[in-house]
Each structure stands twice: as structure tokens, then as C-alpha cells.
Amino acid sequence: MANKRALISVTDKSGIVEFGKSLVELGFDIISTGNTHRILREAGVDAITIDELTGFPEILDGRVKTLNPLVHGGILYRRDVQEHVDTVEKLSIKSIDMVVVNLYNFEGCLRSGAPMEEMIENIDIGGPSMIRSAAKNYKDVIVVTDPSDYDGIVEKLKGGGLSQEDRLMLSYKAYSLTGHYDSIISNYFMDVVGDRYPRYFNMSFEKEDELRYGENPHQAAGLYKESYIQNTKLDFEQLHGKQLSFNNINDLNAALEILAEFEGEEGVASVAIKHANPCSAAVGADAFESFKKTYEADKVSIFGGIVGINSVVDGNTAQVLSEIFLEIIAAYDFTPEALEILTKKKNLRILKLKSLTPKTRGYDMKYLDGKLLVQDKDQVLLEKIQTVTKAEPSKAQMDDMMFGMKIVKHMKSNAIAIVKDKTTLALGPGQTSRIWALENAVANNEGKSLEGSVLASDAFFPFDDCVKFAAKSGVKAMVQPGGSVNDEDSIKACDELGIAMVFTGIRHFKH
């Protein structure tokens, strides 16, 4: 009885020599291509080339080598269908019983910024074709696409062979690989042609971590990274602390989105986050002043939250941070003194950020039970700066307006932020009524004076009630998008109360 045959053609050569030797010892004849064949032969593994199998040379710089009936016929024919068996015998097609293939490194070329011509040459054709053929015929053909499976397959072959469940699992992994590969290629061409909202929105995500649980202990969860994206705000080095949870990562993202608003600006920004909403935020001359202002703005809700700082944390800042129960501290870096202080807390996660402004595709998505909502990220702060009242805002008030809009933009709607001296004084997120958002903000500010403060609203005032309530609380200037049919009522109320109001023309609903 003829030996079984394995076709080996891999870009990732790790472990292939040892695997090839094991297959020969198990009675397989080896067929191979190009550099894989050379490496196997140099290591003493007896193997023939594809040319020897097909009687046809590799052509077109290797573009055509395995696309041949003697290859695909040997993979695809069903051993339990007599008509298939008779056909391959008549055409002198020999069976191929194992396909060991991984693909051209298209993703690596993408990461290196290769020119388009090189990217196209790294689109594998024969590899995916063989993988898909073998995966389709998994009951008769073992398809191997992951080097980490080599040892396990050898052990099972030595022990009597692979079960149908084993073969099905390998088939599933094979189709996952080709789907992933095609997705990255599709995304590349999507960018090249500039089709931002295509008919088929192909995305592939690779698991980075299996999380302990989701938002609650009864929910399973994992962390995945989109394969096409080269870097994100959430790329960091964990310097200390226990594993991140689902909620940690979600809150961290909220913190980094806010910090990104202040990149390139004078001063250091810091923010405290709880349940994906800011507890408080501030800009200071350095990390110490910035966080001190943030902490003083809300000493209550920061408990058990996370802190982000777009600077290096020094010893003085670390000392203040260490006195509070926090889940995460994320910053550009930490001095040795700061790490010495903070690492005394065993569970505190300390994260060193890579970049707050990576180049990404700028999508915001929500997966809704089989439907995917996709929109552009909200990356525009304002369209205009239009003073609509008799009172003109001062330079300091205008600065606070811009600061307030950068914060309220990232709060759940309806949202109100009351700020002063680039520090949040009172925040009211996530209310179904705008006046409730304002009332909650004022009620939760721990009795601090709001005199001379600036109010920022994520969307327009539908009535003048917010203006009147804010004035009683000490607010002296307001910034909002405008656009309500009742804008004039709010403007009139501001004029009567001596409040400056600015329209931006851009609303920032966040649900």
C-alpha cells in the first residue's frame, strides 16, 4: 500500500523541519515548494518538488505552482465516493492526505509600510486555495495551518490517528485563517480606493487576552484587536498590577479619549474615570498640579476609579496617587521613584502608554444583536465660535469653554459640565432631561462654590430653564451648540441675567 502524502508549503518556517522529519518517520511522503523544499532537503528530510509531482514548472515568478489538477484533485476527491476514486485513478492523480500551509506575510508587509506593488506580490493565491480545498475535504485530508499544532498532530498520528472531531477543528482553524487573511487584504484595498462605507464591511479581530469575566461575573469576555489596525490608544505596557478586566479596559478607553483632546496643548491634562464617565478633569502646569486639581474637584467618586495623565508621573504625584484607592494609573511614563511608591500596592495596575494619537481609521461602532452600527468618530470639537449674547466672554472664560467642551463631549448624554480655571467643578452625565443633568451636576458638587464658572452643554438647550438655574448657581458664561427652535428664549434669559453665551454649531450626543 502506498505511503500517505503530505504537501508542505509554509511562509512561517518555525518547527517545520522537526514536523517534516516526524511525518517521514510516520510513513508520509513529502511534497514541497520553493524555499520550504530547500530547507527540508538541507535538513535531511526527503521531499520532492511540486514540479516533480505535476510535471509542470513553477511559472510567473512563483505565482503559479500549486494551481494544478494533480494537486487539487489529490486533495479534493472523496475517498468514499467510487466515482471520485475511479476518476482520479483514470487520470493518474495520487491522493494528498495532509496539507501543511501558512500564507505569504501580507500583514507583515502592511506593518512595514511596503509600497503597493510589494503588497500585491504578497497576496497569496495558491496557499489559500490549497487550505480551502483541504478544509472542505477534512474527513479525508488533514489541514494544518498553525505551527503550534504540529506536536499535537504528531502525537495523535503516533497514537492511531486523528478523530473526525480533530479534523473538523483543524478545518475550522483553516477557514478562520483564510477569512482573517482575506479581511486584511480587503481592508487594505478599501483604504486604497477610499471606500469608507463599503457594501461588505470586512473586519477581523485576533484575541489578545481572555478576560476573567465581562461587566459582571456571570458574563464571559475576551479582548480582541483589529488585525488591520497597526496601533491604538489602548496599546500600552503594563508595568505592575493584576490582570485588566472588561470594565477596566472600557474605562481606560474613556480616559484616553479625553486625554487625546489635550495632546499638543500647553500644560498637563489629567482625568479620573468611573463607569466610562469622567468624575473630574483638569489641566495644570505639571503632573502634580494637574492631578491635584483633578482630585480636589471630586474626592468622592474617584474612589475605585482610574486616572489618566498625559505626562510622566514623578514621585510627588505618585505619593498623592498612592493615598487613593484606584484601579488603574495610566501615563506616558513613571520615574523610578514613582514606581517604587506605586508598586507597593500589589493590585494597582500601572500602565505606560505608547501614543494617544495613533493613526487609526476613525470608526465608532456598536454591535447590536446581529447588526453593526458604524459611524465616524466624533473628532470635531466645534464648527464656529459665535457669541450670541450682549455680554462677551473674557479670554479666561473662552479658555474654559473650550476645556469644558472637550470634557462634555465624552460624557453620556444628556450631559452638563461646569468648569473654572480649566478644572471641572460639577459634572452631570447620562440624564434623560437636560435640566436634570444640570441639577444633578450642581447637587453632586459637594457644596463647592460655582461662582464665576462656565457651563458647557453637549447639545442645545430646548428651554431657558437651564440658563435660569445655572445663573442661580453662579454660572457666568455658557457654551452650547445652538440649533433649538427656542434658542432665542435662552439668549434672552442670558441677556437679562448678564451671562455670556457662545454657540459652537456642533452637538456631541454620546449614547
Active site residues: 136, 275
Q: What are phi and psi of 194, to 5 degrees?
A: 75, 30
Helices 16-25 & 34-42, crossing angle to 10 degrees? 70
**Rounded distance between C-alpha atoms, residue 9 and residue 331, angstroms:** 45
Q: Which residue type occupies 369?
A: D
**Rounded distance between C-alpha atoms, residue 249 and residue 253, angstroms:** 6
The helix/strand/coil state of 216 is coil
DSSP state of 350: E
Distance of CA 226 to the CA centre of its chain: 6
**Rounded distance between C-alpha atoms, residue 51 and residue 279, angstroms:** 68
| Cell numbers linked to 303 | 474612589
Cis peptide before 105 (omega within 30 of 0): no
The helix/strand/coil state of 241 is coil
Cell numbers 455658557 correspond to 478
**Rounded distance between C-alpha atoms, residue 393 and residue 475, angstroms:** 12
**Rounded distance between C-alpha atoms, residue 73 and residue 91, angstroms:** 10
Helices 126-136 & 164-193, crossing angle to 10 degrees? 150
**Rounded distance between C-alpha atoms, residue 251 and residue 259, angstroms:** 13
| Cell numbers linked to 370 | 446581529
Q: Yes or no: say if 33 and 66 are a contact pair by the CB < 8 Å rule.
A: yes
**Rounded distance between C-alpha atoms, residue 146 and residue 259, angstroms:** 39
Cis peptide before 414 (omega within 30 of 0): yes
